[in-house]
A and B are shown apart, each in its own frame.
Chain A
Amino acid sequence: GEDVEQSPFLSVREGDSSVINCTYTDSSSTYLYWYKQEPGAGLQLLTYIFSNMDMKQDQRLTVLLNKKDKHLSLRIADTQTGDSAIYFCAESRGAGANNLFFGTGTRLTVIP
């Protein structure tokens, strides 16, 4: 995780948008992922983006990829209290899911 960086904390009010940022290092990464970890649980895959895409939208989630700056972001629209969790970005440095490098995680707190 040392080369994939995230801000550790983010607080937003319920109903606002959240933007979680991630900086990665390997320009040859093929896929970039966002995982969510709820309290007391393991990680679950939220969404992913292929490296030749700039943007991917999936319901309330929008992923933006700036490959030149190696910057990835996850936007959550209309943030709900159930979105409170730790969010991890991960990059694949080989093919697919067997060579993932995780970021340091961002703890999102949603204030009612």
Chain B
Amino acid sequence: DVKVTQSSRYLVKRTGEKVFLECVQDMDHENMFWYRQDPGLGLRLIYFSYDVKMKEKGDIPEGYSVSREKKERFSLILESASTNQTSMYLCASSLVERESTDTQYFGPGTRLTVL
């Protein structure tokens, strides 16, 4: 069974703080993703990574950065948290495609509140 874990289920931070969200997968997946989920907007891709030390911007990268130093771990960093970054953050991983039906496996999410 694929397991994607996220370091916190709930997090409360203050405006201006630096925030780290950690994601770990145990299936040796090459690809990892960070999304945010907001009511009425669905999931929006922030960043993704195809390999260690590689990253690509998604649809809404502004205000975020990422780090992938090890294959199993993908970190999302909010350099200076703002209230509009209050959201549910979802991490996912997938294999490099051998089949077009290879899917993304999701973690349980981190609900971040920025005060």
Chain A contact residues, CB within 8 Å of chain B:
1-2, 4, 6, 8, 30-31, 33, 40-45, 48, 50, 88, 92, 95-98, 100, 102-105
Contact = CB atoms under 8 A, between A and B. Distances in A.
B108 A102 contact: no
Contact of A4 (B31, B42, B92, B108): B42
Contacts of A92: 100
A20 to B, nearest CB: 13
A76 B94 CA distance: 27
A102 B106 CA distance: 13
The B interface, classified by DSSP as helix, strand, loop or mixed, is: loop
A40 B100 contact: no
A94 to B, nearest CB: 9
Nearest to B111: A40
Interface in B18-62: 31, 35, 40-44, 48, 50
B106 A95 contact: no
B106 A48 contact: no
A31 B109 CA distance: 25
Contacts of A40: 9, 108-109
Nearest to A35: B106
Nearest to A102: B43
Nearest to B103: A45
Contacts of B92: 42-43
A89 B103 CA distance: 13
Contacts of B84: none
